[in-house]
Amino acid sequence: MAELHFFTGTMDSGKSTLALQTNHNHAQRGRVGQMFTTHDRAGEATLSSRLGLVAEALEVAPDFDFWRHVVDELTQGRRIDYLICDEAQFYTAAQVEQLAKIVDELQIDVFAFGILTDFRTRLFSGSARLVELADRTEVLQVEALCWCGKRATHNARTEDGVMVTDGEVIVVGDMNEPGGPPAEIAYEVLCRQHHRRGLTAARARAVSLAPEPLPFG
C-alpha cells in the first residue's frame, strides 16, 4: 500500500540530502518518480543540498495542483511510482491534501521533507497539515547543533547578523558561514534557550562568549 511519509527536522539536518538519496534509492530499483520543490536557496526548479548535491525539480507555486498534474501525467501514458516533495513546509494545506489524495486514490508513494516551525517558532501550515495527514512522520536523526553545542531545535532568521522575530514568513536565505561576515538575510539553528534570548553565534562572539556550552542550563 502506498503511504504519505513526512520527514522533518531543523535547517541543516539533511532533509534535502535525504530527499535526493531517497530518489536515488528508488530509481535504482527501477521505480519512476518526480521531484518537486519551492523556494529552494539554489533557485527556481532546483532541489539542492548543502553538501553540494543538486537536481532538477518541478517548482511548486501556490496555485499548483498536485492532483491535476499527476492525473494529466498518467493520462498521457507517463508512469509515476512516487513523488519527492522538498521544502514541503511552504506548500498550502490544500496541496498537502492533494498529496494525500494521490496516495489514497492512485496508490502513489509520497515522500515529503520540510521543517516544522518558522523563525517565529510557529508551525508552517504545510507542515501542520502533513503532521495531521501523514501515515508516518519521522524526525531526522542527524541533529543540527546550536553554536553552544546543544541540539538545535529552532530556526532563527538574522538580518545583518541580528536575530529578528517579525516579518514575512517566506524569505529565502541560507545559513551564515561560521566566522564569516553576517549576510543581509540569513538563517541559523539555535537551541530553545538561545532562541528565546536572541543569542546568535555572532552576538555571542560580540559579548565575548566562547562558542561552547555555557556553565548553566
Residues assigned a catalytic role: 87
Which residues 6+ apart lie within 8 Å of 31 measured at CB? 81, 82
Task: Tell how strand 154-159 and strand 162-164 pair up.
Answer: antiparallel
Q: Is the dihedral of CA 153, 154, 160, 161 positive or negative?
A: negative
Distance of alpha carbon 156 from alpha carbon 140, whole angstroms = 19
For 170, other C-beta atoms within 10 Å of its C-beta total 12
**Cβ-count burial 172-203 (b if 16+ within 10 Å, e if not):** eeeebeeeeebbeebbbbbbebbbeeebbbbb
DSSP bridge pairs for 182 = none
